[in-house]
């Protein structure tokens, strides 16, 4: 195979860019992508002359969100928060409902502004339904994450055709309306991964506002509540405002949310209503 030959040749030549260039010239039959893939796999970097032609960003709404193609052509929802002023924070919690959810929901109300809970349809058994109903009564927004997370095997939505994605999201939207008593307004694709055409269908057909995040606490990866508290504060201070992503499935998050809200209040941050998001999305 040309690839194997090229690999051996390159290893023997070392990391000499001009020689690599001539290698590419010498083997015109090898498709360039293949050649560059070989170079990457041998040397572990994308060479300066490789054409990494990822598709262009797809603007979902100017100043609000876009889809950006990242490594391996993965369509990734990039959220913007220009509609938030410095010091303004919106909390979002994913992957519930869970045992911790209601405690978090109560803690968040210490600032009298609601948060958004992006829930999974598969967790809406009778206990889950009771939790989101209680959250809704507290004034929080229950929103659609997916039925599974996102496919049955936790693969992103890019593994499903658009029609199936819409079926799932529509089902969860109905489940939420039925259990919580209010039609959801927001949708967040698991991992933030979704093809632009599927996302556009969710917006136009299901009337949901797509929402990513601008501060990812990676709370699932920090098991100590004290560490998570310090980390979240550092991220918030660094950015100065934002849409915060946490998970109400994580015990350490449940132990941190209340402290975080108090700290933000004492340090002149303002937790604002998710209505700010719908206003920003639907304006014009
Ligand atoms: Zn999730």
Over residues 200-225, the pLDDT tens digits come to: 999 999 999 999 999 999 999 999 99
Q: In the chain, which ranges are continuous DSSP H helix?
A: 2-13, 17-26, 32-43, 101-108, 126-137, 162-180, 196-206, 225-239, 251-254, 257-266, 275-282
| Residue of 215, 183, 188, 211 whose CA lies nearest to 120 | 188
Q: Given pLDDT bands bounded at 50, 70 and 90, which one contains residue 110?
A: confident
Q: How far is the CA of 121 from the centre of ligand 1 (A)?
A: 12
Q: How far is the CA of 56 from the centre of ligand 1 (A)?
A: 26
Q: How far is the CA of 88 from the centre of ligand 1 (A)?
A: 23
Q: How far is the CA of 246 from the centre of ligand 1 (A)?
A: 9
**Domain locations in the chain as residue ranges:** 2-43, 60-282
Q: What is the mean pLDDT of residues 121-128?
A: 98
Q: How far is the CA of 18 from the centre of ligand 1 (A)?
A: 45
Give 224-240 pLDDT, tens digit per residue. Answer: 999 999 999 999 999 99
Q: How far is the CA of 96 from the centre of ligand 1 (A)?
A: 9
Q: How far is the CA of 148 from the centre of ligand 1 (A)?
A: 9
The answer to whether 97 touches 104, Cβ cutoff 8 Å, is no
Q: How far is the CA of 224 from the centre of ligand 1 (A)?
A: 20
- CA separation for the pair 264, 89 (Å, rounded): 9
Q: How far is the CA of 165 from the centre of ligand 1 (A)?
A: 15
Domain 60-282 has CATH 1.10.540.10: no
| Residue of 151, 131, 153 whose CA lies nearest to 142 | 131
Q: How far is the CA of 247 from the centre of ligand 1 (A)?
A: 8
Q: How far is the CA of 272 from the centre of ligand 1 (A)?
A: 22
Sign of the torsion formed by the C-alpha atoms of 222, 225, 227 and 230: positive
Would you say residue 52 has pLDDT above 90? no
Lowest-confidence pick of 7-16, 197-206, 275-284: 7-16
| Residue of 241, 264, 274 whose CA lies nearest to 85 | 241
Q: How far is the CA of 222 from the centre of ligand 1 (A)?
A: 16
Lowest-confidence pick of 11-25, 51-65, 190-204: 11-25
pLDDT over 70, % of the chain: 82
3-state secondary structure of 116: strand
Q: What is the mean pLDDT of residues 121-146?
A: 97
């Amino acid at each position: 195979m040309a690839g194997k030959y090229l690999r051996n040749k390159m290893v023997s030549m070392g990391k000499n860019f001009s020689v690599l260039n001539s290698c590419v010239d010498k083997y015109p039959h090898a498709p360039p992508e293949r050649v560059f893939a070989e170079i990457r796999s041998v040397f572990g970097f994308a060479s300066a002359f490789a054409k990494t032609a990822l598709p262009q960003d797809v603007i979902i709404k100017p100043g609000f969100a876009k889809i950006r193609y990242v490594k391996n052509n993965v369509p990734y929802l990039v959220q913007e928060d220009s509609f938030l002023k410095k010091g303004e924070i919106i909390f979002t919690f994913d992957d519930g409902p869970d045992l911790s959810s209601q405690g978090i929901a109560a803690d968040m109300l210490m600032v009298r502004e609601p948060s958004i809970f992006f829930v999974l349809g598969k967790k809406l058994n009778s206990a889950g339904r009771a939790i989101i109903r209680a959250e809704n009564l507290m004034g929080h927004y229950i929103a659609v994450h997916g039925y599974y997370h996102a496919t049955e095997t936790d693969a992103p939505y890019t593994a499903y055709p658009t029609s199936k994605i819409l079926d799932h999201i529509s089902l969860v939207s109905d489940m939420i309306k039925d259990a919580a008593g209010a039609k959801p307004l927001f949708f967040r694709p698991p991992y933030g991964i979704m093809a632009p055409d599927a996302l556009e269908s969710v917006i136009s057909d299901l009337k949901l506002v797509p929402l990513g995040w601008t501060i990812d606490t990676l709370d699932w990866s920090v098991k100590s509540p004290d560490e998570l508290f310090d980390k979240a504060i550092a991220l918030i201070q660094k950015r100065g405002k934002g849409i915060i992503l946490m998970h109400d499935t994580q015990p350490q998050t449940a132990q941190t949310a209340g402290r975080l809200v108090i700290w933000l209040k004492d340090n002149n941050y303002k937790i604002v209503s998710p209505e700010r998001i719908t206003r920003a999305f639907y304006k014009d």
